[in-house]
Structure 1
């Protein structure tokens, strides 16, 4: 199950491209048609030039290189992501994907996103929503986000979606993807051992869909592996269960929401 979890959170991408720099992409033709995904990380990689700027026809080798170069995700983990992403391509035996393919609902894209509206309300899951993200960031009161605050933000979004979306669902793909979404930003931008991350890094990343280089962030000095991911997911899950069992959620009451199934937490 843990393997499925991260499938959705980092989303997969790649495409042959020449420039691997953290500078903003520039000079693309005016007629270029750009596509993006529900995954802020993949979008950031395309915006920076680690992936093709247009987000189209992405090959496996490109994503392996891009995620290794940009955030130091190890290649076996990235390969796993890419293979899962191919499942959203509406072509048999596909070997490439475009970022918009990942918007397929309940495959990798899921309800209760940290930065996107539920599919019931909008078809624009590939576009950042400041209102949705405002709720997410409201659970981060301190300059440093810890695992408990990260879990609270995710749980808050799940509770809001469950209360307001009549079609709300976190299925066997969406639930692990949701947990991985939170685990990824803790790993990619924070202190893996401490389970903490500077709030400004995370806010900058979501709001701009760029890596926070200009705020002083640097990629991990060691490769981030499946083991790191599973460990962080376990910590997020444990804090979520603690919040639920302790009735520690803010702003929601049992009367205001439908019961949540266990796999949705």
Structure 2
């Protein structure tokens, strides 16, 4: 990060958090969007009509984030995933997923900073966002660790299937629903497995919180609905007629998002998974003896 970025970062961060909290308050006071009208008129996906899905081709750039890859697969971002401006990312994510403007500025600005680029003037490829231990992190729910699988642009279908099988909730229509407890359990299992299989595994409070935040979009933006999550996590595409489950007038703020992220992170118990694994292995050891 350049000197100017370092000097201005505290002031920008403070401004964004104040901005975000004001949007949080306005969401409480103002009426929400009506279902079917979350994506703004004129934007791709308005009324549930998404641009045609085209799977990535050889040479296309993709990230460790299914949602960003879906934007490219549907042509909302450049299909090759290259030469994207950070401001373009801001607008596309805002309109498509109904994140708050503060959220949509903060994350691309954070990305520009860790890539040592200018948010205002520079461009990036989606694969650039997979820089290890920036936004991409070990123990992802949809990717094996970068030390084991360097190409983070493709989901691991077995991991995705294991995640979605954790869903214990039900929608009003009877469909499978991923809950906060389900997500905490899935993250507990992944962190345990990643520690065992990846000798280069790294973990910190920051990365754990980022992991829980990334995963919690499944509960907020997608409402935990497995029928919507499966195409997003496997093919990285939008389900037909999909729209964000967040109806708030100014979108999902960071302040509101913490109401999901913090309980998910607090519910993670890797030691419990370790004890359960030892208990399963104990009878086998006794039989061998």
Shorter-chain TM range is: 0.7 to 0.9
**1-structure distance, mates of 2:143, 2:75:** 23
Q: Following superposition of structure 1 onto structure 2, how do residues 1-150 of structure 1 map, counting pairs within 5 Å?
A: 20-21=44-45, 22-25=50-53, 33-89=59-115, 95-142=122-169, 143-150=176-183
1:45 Cα deviation from its structure 2 partner: 1.1
1:238 Cα deviation from its structure 2 partner: 2.8
SS in 1 for 2:277: coil
**1-structure distance, mates of 2:124, 2:279:** 42
Alpha carbons of structure 1 residues 63 and 45: separation in structure 2 relative to 1, 3 Å:
same
Identify the range of structure 1 (58-67 vs 70-79) with the bigger mean alpha-carbon deviation: 58-67
Partner in structure 1 of residue 284 of structure 2: none
1:229 Cα deviation from its structure 2 partner: 1.4
For each residue in 1:76-129, what CA deviation from the matched residue of structure 2 results, as whole angstroms up to 9, or x when unmatched? Answer: 111100011113436588722210101111121111111111122111111111
> Which of the numbers 242, 249, 256 marks the counterpart of 1:217?
242
Q: Compute the TM-score of the two structures, normalised by the length of structure 2.
A: 0.69
Indicate the structure with greater helix content: 2
**1-structure distance, mates of 2:148, 2:86:** 33
Does the 8 Å contact 2:168/2:179 carry over to 1?
Answer: no
Q: Following superposition of structure 1 onto structure 2, how do residues 143-182 of structure 1 map, counting pairs within 5 Å?
A: 143-171=176-204, 173-182=206-215
SS in 1 for 2:221: helix
Tell which structure's C-alpha radius of gyration is larger. 2
> Which ranges of structure 1 fall in alignment gaps of 5 or more residues?
4-17, 191-196, 257-265
- Aligned-residue CA RMSD in angstroms? 2.9
> Which of the numbers 254, 266, 273 marks the counterpart of 1:238?
266
**1-structure distance, mates of 2:208, 2:190:** 12
Alpha carbons of structure 1 residues 86 and 249: separation in structure 2 relative to 1, 3 Å:
same
SS in 2 for 1:253: helix
Structure 1 segments of 4 or more deviating over 6 A? Answer: none
**1-structure distance, mates of 2:106, 2:279:** 38
Partner in structure 1 of residue 221 of structure 2: 188
Does the 8 Å contact 1:103/1:125 carry over to 2?
Answer: yes
Q: How many residues align?
A: 226
Partner in structure 2 of residue 260 of structure 1: none
**2-structure distance, mates of 1:255, 1:92:** 52
1:163 Cα deviation from its structure 2 partner: 1.7
Alpha carbons of structure 1 residues 237 and 174: separation in structure 2 relative to 1, 3 Å:
closer
Alpha carbons of structure 1 residues 201 and 92: separation in structure 2 relative to 1, 3 Å:
closer
1:75 Cα deviation from its structure 2 partner: 1.2
> Which ranges of structure 2 fall in alignment gaps of 5 or more residues?
1-12, 14-41, 170-175, 282-289
1:130 Cα deviation from its structure 2 partner: 1.3
**1-structure distance, mates of 2:222, 2:43:** 22
